[in-house]
Amino acid sequence: MTVPDSPVTTVDPVAAATPPSRLSPVRLPVALAMAVAAGLALLLAFPPYGWWPLAPVGVALLAAATHRRRLRAGAGLGFVTGVALFAPLLAWTNLHTGYLPWVLLSLLQAAYLALLGVATAWVSPLVDRFPPVWPVVTGVLWVGQEALRDRTPFGGFPWGRLAFGQDGSPLLRLAALGGAPLVTFAVAVSGGLLVAGLWWLARARRQPTAPRWWVPAAGPGAAVLVLFSTALLVPLGGSARGGSVTVAIVQGNVPRLGLDFNAQRQAVLDNHVDATIELAAQVAAGAREQPDLVVWPENSSDIDPLRNPAAGARISAAADAVGVPILVGAVLSGPEQGQVRNAGLLWRPGTGPDLEQLYIKRHPVPFAEYVPMRDIARMVSKQVDRVRADFVAGTEAGVVRTPAVVLGDVICFEVAYDGLVRDTVTGGAQLLVVQTNNATFDVAEARQQLAMVRLRAVEHGRPALMASTVGVSGFVAPDGRVSDATGFNTRAVVVRQLTLTEGRTLATRIGMLPEVLLAGLAVAALAGAAVLRRRPG
């Protein structure tokens, strides 16, 4: 890809007096290196690395690389950043399914950053004319890109949102005010401030007579510090007048990692039953606290316990032994022939399954739990036929009522979708529960998912937990702190008393309003740049 750069102007009094962003774009080879560095910096912000301060750096590098570029160069640079970010970030998708799904998914996600590169190149005249708006424009464009990527195609794939790499950052607290979109906006604004400061700095250094060339960068640098410091002032935790509940997470583990966990269905179920019965024995001996609820992960019973009497009897034995309800992650047949459902099912001691407290996963994963356009998809890869039965989506929010606590249940990747989690809280959930199966992935994916649980706990001011077949499982306080996190590919049972909270955070009350407003500002910025592009000169 060869795109001619704008001509480099000679330093003279007229050029020295131009606004900072009137500097020529960086040379294309340098811009390409910056695009790669941007993707790698963004990657390192996410677990398992967790170097969250690098996220604004990555944003700044991409913004600087694409500024004043032609649109096709902006697209190319954005795509390079996307590949450098998503190919390693999503590497866990190729562990057991081959390279093709990983490559296709990575390229698809990178295409959205290509659109972002086009957008940042497009708005160059706007930030040239009004340099102080550069950070805000950078922020709204990132929110707009994520809003699109989170929804398209087939319901979107929100993995890799800037907000999900800030689980250790002061900016995480902003989730209580405006959810993940506000956190993404703050990260991108920080990056915009960095690039604006560097642009001013470059302009100042072009002036031989400038005695304090570093002064122009001081303002944006100070603004970044103020932004992070102000985030620390956001109160967290909600009202702690909701009582308490003691919950046990059972991580039964699987005999072997990989797609053949389905062939190990009986062993996986037995692992969770046996671990729960052992917990009951420890409670009876006084070695463990009696829980009010036990949570099993997704796929803990891939044998339909409503149709298989032996599987149902095994779960009943576990519930009767521990003496409290179990939230079972089950695969249920139907409602029609060739269809299945991914469910969270409350199983009560003495009476068995409570079909009134049943959550069916609302967002099955395309090409993993169901195959859209199967005939066409088969032309790309016959691997789609691994999905023999399509999972049917549920229609009701995951509000599960137990005698001790109201649960907000979401299953696996659903934790990444803002609305699915919020619906449980507005429906009365006191405790957020994420049932997941990481047996086909690795510890990096599990830790990335746990980071999302931390954001959701802060966003809605609720305690939360993640229960995984193989790890990582653990509890999260409403302020985002993680407790009792388990290891990966190991059997574990953790029990903890959780303080419940009441009330709703601002983020819960206003829902998607921040995203709508910020995405609307992104559209306005694009329109404003279009007007300036039509003006001569």
Active site members = 298, 361, 412
What count of other Cβ atoms lies within 10 Å of the Cβ of residue 312? 19
Give the three-state DSSP class for 67. Answer: coil
Is there a contact between 338 and 351 (Cβ–Cβ < 8 Å)?
no
DSSP string, 194-237: HHHHHHHHHHHHT-TT-TTTTHHHHHHHHHHHHHHHHHTTS--S
DSSP 149-184: HTTTTTT---TT-GGGG-TTSGGGGGHHHHHHHHHH
CA distance 137 to 461: 30
Is there a cis peptide before residue 472, judged by omega within 30 degrees of 0?
A: yes
Rounded Cα–Cα distance for residues 388 and 130 (Å):
56
* Closest C-alpha to 141, from 535, 532, 529: 529
Under DSSP, is residue 324 helix (H, G, I), strand (E, B) or coil? Answer: coil
Separation of alpha carbons 474 and 484, rounded Å: 5
Residue carrying structure tokens 């795509």: 79
DSSP 8-state assignment for residue 501: -
Report phi then psi at 483, rounded to 5: -130, 145
DSSP code per residue over 47-111: TTT--TTHHHHHHHHHHHHHTT--HHHHHHHHHHHHHHHHHHHTGGGGTTT-HHHHHHHHHHHHH
In this structure, the number of other CB atoms found within 10 A of the CB of residue 259 comes to 13
Enumerate residues 6+ apart whose C-beta is below 8 A from 367: 101, 377, 384, 387
Residue showing tokens 């929804």: 151
Structure tokens given for 486: 């388990």
- Assess contact for 437 and 473: CB atoms under 8 A: no
Side-chain half-sphere CA neighbours of 517 within 13 A: 10
| CB of 277 closer than 8 Å to CB of 318 | yes
**Which tokens in the block code for residue 335?**
């409602």
For 98, residues 6+ apart whose C-beta sits below 8 A from its C-beta are 383
Q: How far apart are CA 456 and CA 168, in angstroms?
A: 14
Strand pairing category for 431-436 and 399-401:
unpaired
The whole-angstrom separation of Cα 321 and Cα 105 is: 44
Residue 288, Cβ density class (10 Å: 0-12 exposed, 13-18 middle, ≥19 buried): middle
